[in-house]
Amino acid sequence: MALTEAARLQPASPALQNGKSALSGMRQTIQGYVKRGLRGGLRNLGYEIHRVPPRRRAGSDGKGEAWISGAARVDPIWPLPRRQGGLSDDQIRAEFAKYDLWHYAYAFEGGLSFSARHHDPGLLADAPERPLQRFRHFMPYLIAANGGCLRGKRVLDIACNSGFWSIQCALLGAEVVGFDGRAELVEQANLVKSIVGIDNVQFRVLDFWSMTPQALGGTFDIVLNLGILYHLTDPLKALELTQRMARECILLDTGVAPAREPVVKLRWEEPSDIRAATRAGIVAFPSESGVDLMLRHIGVARWLKIPRHVADMPLDYLDGTRASWIIKVA
């Protein structure tokens, strides 16, 4: 036994150590070739591999401070209510049929529902559950950041499209103004408003870059910047304009470049669909850390990247190509 233990405790011979080192180096070389070959092959197919950054601790903001806790589950008001004595089912169907494209799917009380319709349909764009999933993701944090209630808050919905988010906020008691650069989308929003029968939301046609407190009757307690940042040419300037409109809070939800570093990615976008830019040109979208850097630059008080806290989420939130922030302006 003593001989066996002594033998086991003997240091490895120089030849064995050199063999292990050579084997380790060969393994690293092979792994490097495989990784480079995989990246090159995927790049030829139009794909790239990015390292996903570690998730920030839930409940902490861009400065490491916990300032929102206990965001209770909130469900959208769905299906949407209908005004008593309003349009009949057939009349509503006829009004919806006037428009070839609808960015959001809608469902109303009484079993009446309409699908989203796009020129470039896709799984994410046309999924009827997508806005409901997004609501359950970020609206609890917006409500928690505003004392647990939106009642009486003045809310601005930037690029409101057909009014989905404006109407949800109005049904929660807020006084809402929504604007969009496309007149037909504002018509759609007013149609949905008339079916629901609410008067605490107003819609108007306005280009994003024309957004000022003077143009919209002052500033707002809450500003919604949802799905518009990555359709614009200058995300930093867009965030500065958004900040000027807000007295208290901004909800930002945007597509992000899948990169760990603070970068801004450019691409060309045509106004080929109601969810695209209003004019042809370059659009820019930053990475998550790029957004954090921009928020630091414009001098907001604090911000929180909303953590994933519900199981049912759209794919782009899960794969790191879309994210949401709650931003305290002051």
Question: Which of 51-65, 224-238, 243-257, 274-288 shows the lowest mean pLDDT across its residues?
Answer: 51-65
Q: Is 13 left (phi over 0), alpha (psi -120 to 50) or beta?
A: beta
For the stretch 94-115, pLDDT in tens is: 999 999 999 999 999 999 999 9
pLDDT at position 317 over 50 = yes
| pLDDT top residue among 26 and 286 | 286
Q: What is the pLDDT of residue 38?
A: 59
What is the Cα–Cα distance from 320 to 2, expressed in whole angstroms? 58
**What pLDDT sits at residue 82?**
98
- At residue 220, the pLDDT reads 98
> What integer pLDDT is reported at residue 56 of this predicted model?
45
The 3-class secondary structure across 229-256, one letter per residue, is HHHCCCHHHHHHHHHHHEEEEEEEEEEC
Statement: residue 8 has pLDDT above 90: no
pLDDT of residue 1: 42
Predicted confidence (pLDDT) at residue 166 exceeds the cutoff of 80: yes
pTM for the full predicted model: 0.82
Instruction: Flag whether pLDDT at 299 surpasses 70.
Output: yes
> Where do the domains of the chain lie, and which CATH numbers do they carry?
89-328 (3.40.50.150)
